[in-house]
Amino acid sequence: MSSPSTELTRRMAIYEQFHHISRWADTFNGDNSPNIGSSTIVPADVRLKNKAECIPCEQVEPSISDQETNKPTDKIQRRLAQNREAARKSRMRKKAYVQQLESSRLKLAQLEQELERARQQGIHIASASDAGYFGLSGTVNSGITSFEMEYGHWVEEQNRLICELRTAVQAHITDIELHILVESGLNHYYNLFRMKADAAKADVFYLISGIWRTSAERFFHWIGGFRPSALLSVMLNLVVVPQIEPLIDQQHLEVCNLRQSSQQAEDALSQGVEKLQQSLAESVASDLCSGNYGAQMVAAIDKLEALENFVSQADHLRQQTLQQMARILTTRQAARGLLAMGEYFHRLRALSSLSAARP
Amino acid sequence: MDKVMRLTTERGVVLFSKSSCCLCYAVKILFQELGVTPTIHEIDQDPEGREMERALMRLGCKAPVPAVFIGGKLVGSTNEVMSLHLGGGLIPLLRPYQALC
């Protein structure tokens, strides 16, 4: 296939192909993917068609005598056929390229949405320049990244549970059905405590900093989460005042006792954490002038386990508070209490967004 | 272990602790807030400390310290003390031993 006329037509066909590609594939400068893509996407029947269209060329090529007698017509025919072929291939590649663009666009929109959602929750987004989550060795703490993801899902599920509970309360369903929903709501909080325990093992400072929560929620944090007695105060106001499901005197007394017990326990744990802070500072600061810090770091790391224990105790206190409330309140009151809690945290999250968006 | 058994049967509130343990310190603070002065045994300062630790674990404590006994009976570690307190069951147990204000 090396006669001058075929060379010429082939070169022309190739030129036309490049011309087509350069017109709409400028953005893929060094990237051969559209071409590769198109060749993989081109369906089988098109390939067969290619072969079929090649046949006239192959039929014409070998007979040199024909070529000499019908030179102009043959050349034109061949060129036309090759042009058609090139144009069709070009159209196929363009189609594949556009499809790829469309799916990339969709993916980008999805990622942007996720990022926005994560930002609203104040999740620490590690960027390339941020040393925070990549640590000294450049590795990502997978326990923490998976916690962040799980927490995102937790919040979504929380919103869904609250909606379901709200509908149920307004719809006057039976106490038994409502009880099931209340249990789901409580278990959802207990799940969070389990997740937090794993995260504390991965990085206790991260967990206790509350950076995984929104800024307003963090403002009210006590040892890595909400302060039980503060929540009880909120609940007392929300359940008693509206008079919808008022507490009877006995219940009111029990909730007040629970709040006082919780306050005493919180004070004790707070003082314990302060002592640990002092102790940790002493470990880190010991022998500063020597320059090496190996032994001091080992002593400090031992204290991290103690910190983990405090976080665990704080979450245990939260869990106990919720369980005691569920015991003291009727199912309907507990449902309203959970709704109130859910709304309270939702508002704190909204306040965080508003605070961040202030001009 | 004899020593531990003897100490646990002491009257009042007995707390096994370690001087370096901040969680034990927190439990101590809680008892103070409730008007109780527990008898504290710092097992890290006791020559038989290791054995005492093992004995406490055998008695059912998940962590050797803090371990709380009231009137000779094992209450438990921090978890159990906190749960009991929030449930309203700790103060009645402490009543006989609370300081008269």
Task: Count CA within 13 A, CB hemisphere, residue A296.
Answer: 15
Strands B39-42 and B13-17: parallel
Q: Does B19 touch chain A (CB under 8 A)?
A: no
- Beta-carbon separation of B86 and A317 below 8 A: yes
**Which of B23, B88, B90 shows the shortest C-beta gap to A272?**
B23
Quick count: other Cβ atoms within 10 Å of Cβ A15?
11
- SS3 of residue B23 by DSSP: helix
Rounded average pLDDT over A209-222:
94
CATH of the domain spanning B3-95, picked from 3.40.50.2300, 3.40.720.10, 3.40.980.10, 3.40.30.10: 3.40.30.10
Residue A287 within any structural domain of the chain: yes
Quick count: other Cβ atoms within 10 Å of Cβ A253?
12
Which pLDDT band holds residue B11 (cuts at 50, 70, 90)?
Answer: confident
Residues on A contacting B at a C-beta cutoff of 8 Å: 254, 257-258, 261-262, 264-265, 267-269, 271-273, 275-276, 279, 306, 309-310, 313, 316-317, 320-321, 324
CA distance B28 to chain A (A): 8
Q: Tell me how far apart the alpha carbons of residues A37 and A17 are, in angstroms, rounded to a whole number.
A: 16
How many domains does chain A fold into?
A: 1
> Letter for the amino acid at A189?
Y
- In a 10 Å sphere around its CB, with 0-12 CB exposed, 13-18 middle and 19+ buried, how is residue A178 labelled? buried
**Which of A257, A262, A268 shows the shortest C-beta gap to B29?**
A268
CA distance B65 to chain A (A): 12
Q: Which pLDDT value is given to residue A60? A: 44
Q: pLDDT by residue (tens digit) across A278-314? A: 999 988 888 777 777 777 788 888 889 999 999 999 9
Phi-psi region of A224 (alpha: psi -120 to 50; beta: other; left: phi over 0): left
Nearest to A257 by CA among A201, A196, A327, A347: A327
Residue A71 within any structural domain of the chain: no
Q: Buried b / exposed e across A99-111, counting CB within 10 Å, b at 16+?
A: ebeeeeeeeeeee
CA distance A138 to chain B (A): 33
Q: Is the pLDDT of residue A125 over 60?
A: no
Cβ neighbours for B82, distance < 8 A, ≥ 6 positions apart: A265, A313, A316, A317, A320
Nearest to A20 by CA among A121, A66, A89, A106: A89
Cβ neighbours for A77, distance < 8 A, ≥ 6 positions apart: A56, A60
Residue in B with minimal Cα distance to A321: B86
Rounded average pLDDT over A152-169:
94
**Which of A275, A316, A321 shows the shortest C-beta gap to B22?**
A275
CB A35 within 8 A of CB A93: yes
The average confidence (pLDDT) of chain B is: 89
Q: Buried b / exposed e across A317-327, counting CB within 10 Å, b at 16+?
A: bbbbbbebbbe
Q: Where are the domains of chain B?
A: 3-95
- Beta-carbon separation of B22 and A279 below 8 A: yes
Which pLDDT band holds residue A34 (cuts at 50, 70, 90)?
Answer: very low
Q: pLDDT by residue (tens digit) across B24-69? A: 999 999 999 999 999 999 998 988 888 888 888 888 878 888 999 9
Three-state SS letters, A92-109: HHHHHHHHHHHHHHHHHH
Please report where in the chains the tokens 């007392």 appear, as a residue: A236
**Which of A258, A264, A272 shows the shortest C-beta gap to B22?**
A272
Which pLDDT band holds residue A27 (cuts at 50, 70, 90)?
Answer: very low
Q: Is the pLDDT of residue A201 over 50?
A: yes
- SS3 of residue A325 by DSSP: helix
Q: Tell me how far apart the alpha carbons of residues A295 and A297 are, in angstroms, rounded to a whole number.
A: 5
Q: Does B82 touch chain A (CB under 8 A)?
A: yes
Which pLDDT band holds residue B84 (cuts at 50, 70, 90)?
Answer: very high
- Beta-carbon separation of B29 and A271 below 8 A: yes
CB A193 within 8 A of CB A224: no
Between A136 and A145, where is the model more confident? A145
- Beta-carbon separation of A320 and B83 below 8 A: yes
Beta bridge partners of B74: B69
Give the domain range for residue A200.
144-357
CB A193 within 8 A of CB A318: yes
Which pLDDT band holds residue A35 (cuts at 50, 70, 90)?
Answer: very low
Residue A62 within any structural domain of the chain: no
Please report where in the chains the tokens 């919780």 appear, as a residue: A262
Cβ neighbours for A295, distance < 8 A, ≥ 6 positions apart: A287
Output the pTM of the full model: 0.69
Nearest to A262 by CA among A207, A223, A297, A299: A223
Please give the interface size between A and B, counted as residue pairs whose CB atoms are below 8 Å apart.
67
Q: Which of A32-36, A107-111, A220-224, A259-263 has the lowest mean pLDDT?
A: A32-36
Show the DSSP H helices in chain A as ranges: 4-24, 33-41, 44-60, 64-69, 71-120, 142-170, 175-202, 204-209, 215-219, 228-240, 249-285, 294-328, 331-357
Dihedral angle, C-alpha A179, A181, A182, A188, nearest 10 °: 150
The pLDDT > 70 percentage for chain A reads: 72
Residue A185 within any structural domain of the chain: yes
